[in-house]
Amino acid sequence: MRIFFNHGLTAEEIYTNTQKNIIDKNWKWFITRYGSTNSYSDAISDPFKYCFGLALHKVIDEKKRFKIPYASNGFIDFEIVQGDKFIEHRQNGRFQEIDFVGSDFTGYALRYYFNTKSYQKSYPIYIGGELKKKFILGINSGIKYNTIKDFTVDDLLEEVNLKFKDLTKKEIKKLLIHGFRRMHSAIKFGCAITINTTKFINCYAYIGNLTLVPDKQIKDYSYRKNKKLRKIYSWKKEEFDGYYYIGLNPTAFEQWVKNNKTSRNTLKFDRVLMRKLKEELYNLHKHVYIFRVPIRKFKGWAFWADKLNKRDIEFIGESYEYKFTETTKTWKEIIKEYATTSN
């Protein structure tokens, strides 16, 4: 089964449209110093990635809980699964690398905990590389991962500063606080997080739910992808362009063509999902025909329209296999073309 990871916000994306005055150095200086070549956000995310890797290593090595700065009860800690519950999880495919006897029938996992309005929620943290090997080895050696102490970003500042000596501690702390606050708000919003720190420390991690059920994973992929796009859009602070977008799969498009072959001035769609971001339509797993409709009033990220009668609806292109092809054809031209090819 293919597991989709590219819907998680990366460290670089977390720093989208970060204020240029957060530190004294400009982006050209970062590119020269650290080798990042894509953008300012790529460059200034380096200390955050290194700090995040240090935090996970410290959680596992020293069995301490990492508190997320300026987050209401946000922290990284262990999940403990014991006894019959551990056996049940293992039979369902979890903890396969954990030895029954060596671990004393106990499974451990890292989780990201945070508070919602009414209850505490958490997402699993999947780790890879040497960090995962070390964690599994510790569990199989019978180590009890129970945290009794907390640590914060302040406890990691000295080590991060040694890695990035050209930055002051004050600048580093600003960068780290900015990154962790954004990551926390994105997780609460429903985003998944993908952090690759192998450039500095052997650690990469994914924060979010995964499942072995393909249909459920694909559905979750679409949900997380949309959440990611919306969060990035809000950080960019782009103005609403006055359009909402519709995506019709081939079956719905064919039905629409049959209903609109005549030269009418109104087009009818019954119960379609209008989206603010057309990029959400590009990532659907089916071939879609994309239209846009001018709606001056902002109505949220998406809403259901029971019926639309718009003379100025515009066909803008097709999306297939994650690729989008633009077009300048009108809806009347696309209907005529479709009618010709289908005869």
DSSP for 126-188 reads EEEHHHHHHHHHHHHTT-------EE-GGGTHHHHHHHSTTS-HHHHHHHHHHHHHHHHHHHH
State how far the alpha carbon of 115 is from the alpha carbons of 93, 151, 178, in Å: 29, 19, 19
Please check whether residues 226 and 286 belong to one and the same domain.
no
Of 179, 207, 235, the last residue of a domain is 235
Of 235, 252, 285, the last residue of a domain is 235
First and final C-alpha spacing in the chain: 40
Q: Which of 124, 87, 123, 78 is nearest to 106 (CA)?
A: 87
Other Cβ atoms less than 10 A from the Cβ of 343: the count is 5
Of 235, 257, 272, the last residue of a domain is 235
Host domain of residue 74: 9-235
What global pTM score does this model have?
Answer: 0.85
DSSP letter string, 98-111:
S-TTTTTSEEEEEE
Structure tokens at 147: 């945290």
Q: What is the tally of structural domains in the chain?
A: 2
Please check whether residues 92 and 118 belong to one and the same domain.
yes
What does the pLDDT profile of the chain (343 residues) look like in tens digits?
344 456 889 999 999 888 777 887 777 777 777 766 667 777 788 899 999 999 999 999 999 999 999 887 899 999 998 888 888 877 777 788 888 788 888 889 999 999 887 788 999 999 988 889 999 999 999 899 999 899 999 999 999 999 988 888 999 999 999 999 999 999 999 999 999 888 888 888 999 988 777 777 777 888 888 899 999 999 988 888 889 998 888 888 877 777 766 656 666 666 788 899 988 888 776 788 888 888 888 888 998 887 776 667 888 888 876 678 888 877 777 777 776 765 5
